[in-house]
C-alpha cells in the first residue's frame, strides 16, 4: 500500500510544483507589465490559469507571491548564466555583456517595481530588503567566478561590484526607451577597462 501511495503522490506533487511555477512566472510577467499597483494575487491567478484558492494555497499573501516570484526567476537566470559559461571566463567581455543582460529584461523591470513599492509599504520592505541582499550576493559570486576575478587582489572586489552597479544603472536607463545601441558601446568600453583592471 505504501508503494501505491508513493506512486500516486508523485504526479500530484509534480502538478503542484508545475502550478507553483506557473504562478511565479505569471507574477513576474504581471509585475513587469503592470507594476505593483496592478499586480494582485487574483490577476496573477487568472493569468496563470489557476483558481484564486489554489493560488492562495501556495502563497497566502501578496507579499509571499511576489517576493517568491522575483527570487525564483532570479535563480533561474543565475543558473542559465552559469550554464552559458561552463568553463568560466573564456572571454571576459562576453561575461560582462551577459551580466548586463541580466538587468535589461522583464526580471529587472519586475524587481524594480517591487523595490520601489517597498519604499512605501511597511509589510513589503523587510522582505524585499532581505531578498535584494540574497540575490545581490549570489549575483556577485557568479560574477567573480565567471570573470575569474581574484578577490585577494586589492580593488578586485570593488571593481566587480562597480560593474554590477553599472549593469543596474544600465537597466534603469532602458526602462522607458530602448537604450541598446548606447548600452553596447558602454559595455564594450568597460569590458576593455575591466580586462585591464582584473589583469
| Interface with a copy of itself, residue 84, by CB under 8 A | no
**Nearest residue (CB) to a copy of itself, 59 versus 190:** 190
Q: DSSP class of residue 123?
A: T
> With CB under 8 A as the contact rule, which of the stretches 11-19, 54-62, 68-76, 184-192 interacts with a copy of itself?
184-192
> Is residue 43 at the binding interface for a copy of itself, with CB under 8 A as the rule?
no
Element (H, E) at 173: helix 156-173
Give the length of the chain. Answer: 199
DSSP character string of 124-144: THHHHHHHHHHHHHHHHHHHH
Q: Give CA separation, 160 vs 136, 139, 152, in Å.
A: 12, 10, 13
Nearer to a copy of itself, 51 or 129 (CB): 129
* By the rule CB under 8 A, 173 interacts with a copy of itself: yes
- Name the residue nearer to a copy of itself (CB basis): 50 or 143: 143
Element (H, E) at 94: helix 92-101
- How many Å apart are CA 100 and CA 80, to the nearest integer? 14
180: contact with a copy of itself by CB under 8 A: no
Residue 34 binds to a copy of itself (criterion: CB under 8 A): yes
Reading the block at residue 140, the C-alpha cell is 556577485
Closest separation between CB of residue 98 and a copy of itself, Å? 17
Would you state the cell numbers that stand for residue 155, as one nine-digit string?
Answer: 580593488
Q: List contacts with a copy of itself (CB under 8 A).
A: 34-35, 37-38, 109, 112-113, 115-120, 125, 128-129, 132-133, 136, 155, 158-159, 161-162, 164-173, 175-177, 182, 185-186, 188-190, 192-193, 196-197
Amino acid at each position: 500500500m505504501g508503494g501505491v501511495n508513493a506512486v500516486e503522490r508523485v504526479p500530484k506533487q509534480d502538478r503542484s510544483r508545475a502550478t507553483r511555477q506557473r504562478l511565479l512566472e505569471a507574477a513576474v510577467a504581471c509585475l513587469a507589465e503592470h507594476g505593483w499597483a496592478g499586480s494582485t494575487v487574483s490577476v496573477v491567478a487568472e493569468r496563470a490559469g489557476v483558481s484564486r484558492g489554489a493560488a492562495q494555497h501556495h502563497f497566502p499573501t501578496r507579499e509571499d507571491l511576489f517576493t517568491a516570484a522575483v527570487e525564483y526567476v532570479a535563480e533561474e537566470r543565475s543558473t542559465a548564466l552559469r550554464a552559458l559559461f561552463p568553463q568560466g571566463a573564456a572571454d571576459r567581455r562576453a561575461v560582462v555583456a551577459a551580466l548586463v543582460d541580466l538587468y535589461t529584461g522583464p526580471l529587472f523591470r519586475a524587481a524594480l517595481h517591487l523595490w520601489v513599492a517597498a519604499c512605501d509599504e511597511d509589510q513589503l520592505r523587510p522582505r524585499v530588503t532581505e531578498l535584494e541582499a540574497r540575490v545581490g550576493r549570489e549575483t556577485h559570486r557568479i560574477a567573480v567566478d565567471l570573470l575569474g576575478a581574484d578577490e585577494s587582489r586589492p580593488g578586485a572586489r570593488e571593481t566587480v561590484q562597480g560593474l554590477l552597479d553599472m549593469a543596474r544603472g544600465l537597466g534603469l536607463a532602458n526602462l522607458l526607451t530602448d537604450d541598446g545601441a548606447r548600452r553596447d558601446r558602454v559595455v564594450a568600453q568597460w569590458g576593455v577597462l575591466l580586462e585591464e583592471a582584473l589583469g
